[in-house]
Amino acid sequence: MDPAEPHEEKTVALLRAALMAASGERISVEELLDSLKRRAFGFVLLLLAIPNFIPVPLGIGGIMGVLVIGLGLEMLIGLEHPWIPGFLRRRTMSREGLLRFLDRIAPFSGRLERICKPRLQRLTRRPFTFVSGAIMLLIGILLALPIPFTNYVFGGMLIAFAFALVERDGVLLTMVWVTTVAIVIASATFSHALAGFFRDLF
């Protein structure tokens, strides 16, 4: 069994507390992550999921996908904490906008938090972080591809992935791994069948 660890606040409560502690109307990525300390990987992933649920210009999935791929590579090379370029760390976000986002995902995040708990925690640590890094790469690639109407799907997967990392829930993490692999296999099968259809048609 996993060793007992001290009680910690849930994901949304931690993020909300960090936002409420901010002094101004905007908060930088650096300020937010510094307050979240060792759980920063999961929170960065949660931040990358946000644009998939708000009205933004077309092509944002490609940008977010590349950033998710970068985060996955960092896990693959064994970084303990996410490295973020200075210009992104200095980027500020609306505190009220982030709080509204937390309210918007409350039904989904509430259900996740009720089922999330520290279990099979070894799966959230090295060497299994390499598996998480590889899976994150796959999600990033899928998100970056111009597949219509999939932003919500992959955004939801990023949220589940983020909660699993933050809450150290190896069971939920395994579910994300399996779901991602299944989607990749289904996408490859569909693409092959579609290519075969057009080849036979013409």
Instruction: Note down pLDDT in tens along the chain; length 202 residues.
Output: 444 444 456 777 878 887 887 777 888 888 777 766 667 788 888 878 877 666 555 566 677 788 889 888 988 888 877 887 777 778 888 888 888 888 887 887 788 778 888 889 889 888 888 999 999 898 888 888 776 666 778 888 888 898 888 888 999 999 999 998 888 888 777 665 545 645 665 5
pLDDT of residue 201: 57
What tens digit of pLDDT does each residue of 98-131 get?
A: 888 888 878 877 887 788 888 898 898 888 889 9
Q: Which structure tokens are listed for 183?
A: 């989607």
Other residues' Cβ atoms within 10 Å of the Cβ of residue 133: 19
Amino acid present at 49: A
Q: Are the C-beta atoms of residues 43 and 32 closer than 8 Å to each other? A: yes
Rounded to the nearest 5°, which phi and psi values hold at 27?
A: -130, 135
Angle among Cα 85, 10, 114 to the nearest 5 degrees reads: 125
Mean pLDDT, the chain, whole residue set = 78
pTM here?
A: 0.72
| d(C-alpha 157, C-alpha 140), whole Å | 11
Cα–Cα nearest to 176, from 114, 127, 83, 112: 112
Q: At what angle do helices 29-36 and 40-49 cross, to 10 degrees?
A: 140
Measured in whole angstroms, the distance separating CA 44 from the mean position of its chain's CA atoms is: 7
